[in-house]
Amino acid sequence: MRFFDHNATTPLWAEAKAAWVEANEMHWLNPSSPYRSAAAVHAQLEQGRERLAVLFDVDPRRIVFNSGATEGNNAVFATWAKMLKATDRVVVGVTEHPSVLAAAERYFEGRIDWLPADPAGVVGPATAEWSDASAISVMAANNETGVLNPWQDWLAACRECGIPMHCDASQWIGKMPLDGLGNCDYVTGCAHKFGGPKGVGFLIMPEGSAVGLAGGAQERGRRAGTEDVAGILALVAAVEVADSKRLGCSDKHKMAFLAALEQSLPGVQVIGDRQHTLWNTVEIIMPQFKSARWIRALEKKACLVSAGSACSTGKQGTSHVLAALGVDADAAGRALRLSSGWETSAEDWEVLLGAILESFRELETDAAEPGSQVISI
Amino acid sequence: MRFFDHNATTPLWAEAKAAWVEANEMHWLNPSSPYRSAAAVHAQLEQGRERLAVLFDVDPRRIVFNSGATEGNNAVFATWAKMLKATDRVVVGVTEHPSVLAAAERYFEGRIDWLPADPAGVVGPATAEWSDASAISVMAANNETGVLNPWQDWLAACRECGIPMHCDASQWIGKMPLDGLGNCDYVTGCAHKFGGPKGVGFLIMPEGSAVGLAGGAQERGRRAGTEDVAGILALVAAVEVADSKRLGCSDKHKMAFLAALEQSLPGVQVIGDRQHTLWNTVEIIMPQFKSARWIRALEKKACLVSAGSACSTGKQGTSHVLAALGVDADAAGRALRLSSGWETSAEDWEVLLGAILESFRELETDAAEPGSQVISI
């Protein structure tokens, strides 16, 4: 299979698997147990935290390990709900991940100001009025379109206003440079987006109180529950691998693919400004045929692509991200998200191109056949 | 090492490790992705859910996978806070795990009635007035003492009153028969207590709404976030192994150990009614010397034992469980928790006995030596 859905999830790096297996053999004791052998496991956990802190250039005490981005994003708004005044409003980008949108709605119902996206999908400080904000949540890179938000500008603006900033960097980490990201007050990270295991992630946050799971002193009282040391060490191994491999990655193959695609398949529309997009991601609107038919046809040719966020699959209606970009429902129904990985080759992109062109001919033939019945999936 | 701290955590079963490794090789796609290969991963997830449902004899739709017991216990009280009236009171056993106590305090501050334990540590329906309750939380087996609560009686009583019952069965599952447990409205389970990986657990709950993580349709809308399919399949493999191995387990070796210990070390006190205790667990009050000194001395002789719940280690003060049983602070400071596993042998218990007796002589000698300085740890 040629896998073009790395924004949904990623295969586990060998290094991450090795770290998990080793931890379960060597460091499986409960790090809170009172004997020295358990203290050694606790030391492994703290060494993992320090390695991650080095990558982000933050104080290790700011890192809280958790079960993934959804928990991290929920914890940010739960913490703000406790920390801010009952009348305070939060400002949230319209293109955020569903877990940010839903957490904001749960904890700040009626007190959310939405930041619009510009026509290229970018959510920037210049695009909206937000001076009433008491806290801001803007993602680093969009999961569906790959569009990069100017989080550095947001951070500068938040510092000027003296309000906290949250950056969901789930899609940024492992693909883009980490420099400066740790300066955001809150940063969400998720292992399975960069080749780590599912079920583990982290939230960089200010020291001090936070509202995570209640019931234990773990993670400096900010997230109760026995620490998943094996998952955490696998996460750290994975981010180190991804952050190193990304140095050899660029959008070169993707750009060549897009140029060839646009030439061969007139009417294809590329979403966003392709210069300000993750190197691995592109969302395209196909000239004809629903996303689901494309996905099925391409899977038969051993190419896996997506229609949008895996998390919103199964939901009714148009992608909120495409809607925010002014894409109409009909066009949004023809969207494909292509997201490559650290080891995707020029050949993989060429195979995908061939598969798309061949699928197009087949779908056209199917449609032209009298009496052809397309079974909706 | 002879490991006598299985109530803190357990080593991973080979079957659980194999399931995790296989899932990360074969079933690593995001189960919510829109292609057939991902639907196959989703099917693996649902097969795991069905295998677990068979063990508990419940509708698979009642099972919500999560990150562990702490998340499960938090979700129960968050759900009740939303479901019950603002004046409704909940009833909670005094010997519950800290994650139940803290979640109850977070969501029902000032609206909690505490169920006392009898002198043997048992929290039963006859021991308290609880007719005002709108919901009840009573654990199946206590993590510190191993004392079994009559959850079957509680369930019958709750059915009579028409109120929901939560049973934290983290220490029961894998050690005791599962028959009837699924009839409780809410049941907490945690993989790393029965030889599964850390960071994964489940909550059996009524179908319908619940307050878990917000942001996605996973777990029928009750717990957002990409499902940790590998962790879940490892959890299911682990509970199957443990539930099968427990058939060959009994308290025989523990009882022989206790008889020999009481004969050789007069003044040892066994907590709880030893007939109504998990077969693997015993908490004892040593006649002399602080828990920490025993733990250190025994670790030097390759025996790992605990002073109480791993989760409360590092906290100041006496164990709330021992306090509830009327054990004074001085005696509680001399408590040791011994918890064996499914493969702990008669020889392991004999070695532990020898190590305790030898440690006692050494600690006595240390104490008798003029000028000996015990460094507090």
Q: Which of A17, A38, A306 sits opposite B34 (nearest CB)?
A: A306
Kindly determine whether residue A226 and residue B311, on different chains, have CB atoms separated by under 8 Å: yes
Contact A9 B68 (CB under 8 A): no
Query: At A139, is the secondary structure helix, strand, or coil?
Result: coil
Q: Residue type for A216, please?
A: G
Which residues form the domain of B20? 14-245
Q: Which two tokens stand for residue A199?
A: 């079920």
SS3 content of chain B, % helix, strand, coil (to 5): 45, 15, 40
Q: What is the pLDDT of residue B265?
A: 97
B93 and B201 housed in the same domain:
yes
Q: Binning pLDDT at 50, 70 and 90, where does residue A106 land?
A: very high
Domain boundary among A229, A245, A261: A245
How far is residue B252's CA from residue B257's CA, in Å, rounded to a whole number? 9
Q: Is B287 on the interface with A (CB under 8 A)?
A: no
Q: What angle do CA B55, B61, B65 make, to 5 degrees?
A: 75
ipTM score for this prediction: 0.95
> Which pLDDT belongs to residue A179?
97
Residues B268 and B215 in one domain: no
β-strands A303-304, A281-285 pairing: unpaired
Q: Does B102 touch chain A (CB under 8 A)?
A: yes
Q: Is B368 on the interface with A (CB under 8 A)?
A: no
Q: Is the pLDDT of residue A371 over 90?
A: no
A37 touches chain B (CB under 8 A): yes
Q: Does residue B375 form part of some domain?
A: no
H/E segment holding residue B338: strand B335-339
Q: Are residues A284 and A355 in the same domain?
A: yes
pLDDT of residue B377: 44
Q: Which residues of chain B have pLDDT under 50?
A: 312-314, 376-377
- For residues A291 and A307, the answer to whether their CB atoms sit within 8 Å is yes
Same domain, B256 and B237: no
| φ, ψ dihedrals at A280, nearest 5° | -95, -10
Q: Which residues of B touch A231 (CB under 8 A)?
A: 197-199
Residues of chain A with pLDDT > 70, as a percent, come to 95
Chain-chain contact of A214 with B99 (C-beta, under 8 angstroms): yes
Place of tokens 């390990």: A65
User: Which residue has tokens 């909120």?
Assistant: A320
Pairs of CB atoms within 8 A across A/B? 238
User: A204 pairs with which residues across the strands?
Assistant: A63, A187
Give the percent of chain A with pLDDT over 90: 87
Residue A232 lies in a domain: yes
State the nearest Cα–Cα gap between A263 and chain B, in angstroms: 27
How many residues are given for chain A? 377
pLDDT tens for residues A231-268?
999 999 999 999 999 999 999 999 999 999 999 999 99
Both A309 and A338 in one domain: the answer is yes
pLDDT greater than 80 at residue A311 = no
Q: How far apart are CA A114 and CA A121, in angstroms?
A: 14
Cβ-based contacts of A69 with chain B (< 8 Å): 225
Query: Taking CB atoms and an 8 Å limit, are A5 and B33 in contact across chains?
Result: yes
Longest pairwise C-alpha distance within chain B: 76
The Cα of B12 is separated from the nearest Cα of chain A by a number of Å equal to: 7
Residue B217's pLDDT is: 87
Nearest-neighbour CA in chain A from B312: distance (Å): 7
Q: Domain boundary at B245, B263, B286, which?
A: B245
A69 touches chain B (CB under 8 A): yes
Point out which residues pair with B270 in neighbouring strands: B284
Instruction: Please enumerate in sequence order all residues whose Cβ is within 8 A of that of B43, keeping only pairs 6 or more positions apart, or say none.
Output: none
List of chain A residues whose C-beta atoms are within 8 Å of the C-beta of residue B305? 35
What is the domain-level CATH number for residue B233? Answer: 3.40.640.10
Chain B residue numbers with beta carbons less than 8 Å from the beta carbon of A17 are: 21, 24
Same domain, A196 and A100: yes
Q: Which of B105, B230, B314 lies nearest to residue A32, judging by beta carbons?
A: B314
Helix runs in A68-187, H state only: 69-83, 98-108, 151-161
Q: Chain B within 8 Å of A15 (Cβ-Cβ)?
A: no
d(CA B126, CA B153): 9
| Same-domain check for residues A20 and A167 | yes
How many domains in chain A? 2
Cβ-based contacts of B311 with chain A (< 8 Å): 32, 215-218, 224, 226
Q: Which of B12, B24, B67, B223 to mutate to test the interface with A (most CBs of A within 10 A)?
A: B67
Decide: residue A79, CB within 10 A, 0-12 exposed, 13-18 middle, 19+ buried: buried
Q: Do the beta carbons of residue B331 and residue B267 sit within 8 Å?
A: no
Q: Which chain B residue has the Cα nearest residue A224?
A: B70
Q: Are residues A327 and A194 in the same domain?
A: no
CA–CA distances in Å: residue A202 to residues A65, B188, B192: 4, 24, 20
B355 contacts B298 by C-beta, under 8 angstroms: yes
Residues of B in contact with A22 (CB under 8 A): none
Task: Look at B226 and A9 and tell me if their CB atoms are within 8 Å.
Answer: yes
Collapsing DSSP states into helix, strand and coil, what is residue B322?
Answer: helix
> Residue A223: pLDDT above 90?
yes
**Residue B73 at interface with chain A, using a CB cutoff of 8 Å:** yes
User: What value does the mean pLDDT of chain A take?
Assistant: 94
Amino acid B309: pLDDT = 60
Query: By CA distance, what is B218's nearest residue in A?
Result: A311
Does a structural domain hold residue B373? no
The CATH number of the domain holding residue B268 is: 3.90.1150.10
> Same domain for B91 and B218?
yes
Give the pLDDT band of residue A132 (cuts 50, 70, 90). confident
A323 occurs within a structural domain? yes
Q: What is the DSSP string of B258-303?
A: HHHHHHHSTT-EE-S-TTSB-TTEEEEE-SSS-HHHHHHHHHHTTE
- pLDDT: is A180 or A273 the higher one? A180
In this structure, what token pair is assigned to residue B269? 């006190």
Angle, helices B291-300/A36-56, rounded to nearest 10 degrees: 90
* Mutation site for A-interface testing, chosen from B12, B15, B32 by largest number of A Cβ within 10 Å: B32
Same domain? For B155 and B259 the reply is: no
- Do A190 and A100 reside in the same domain of the chain? yes
pLDDT band at A110 (very low <50, low <70, confident <90, very high): very high
What pLDDT does A220 receive?
87
Q: Does residue A373 form part of some domain?
A: no
Q: Tell me, yes or no, if B375 comes closer than 8 A to chain A by beta carbon.
A: no
Instruction: State whether B126 and B146 are in the same domain.
Output: yes
In eight-state DSSP terms, residue A376 is P
Q: Does A313 have pLDDT greater than 50?
A: no
Residue of B nearest to A27 (CA): B11
Tokens standing for residue A180: 């400066």
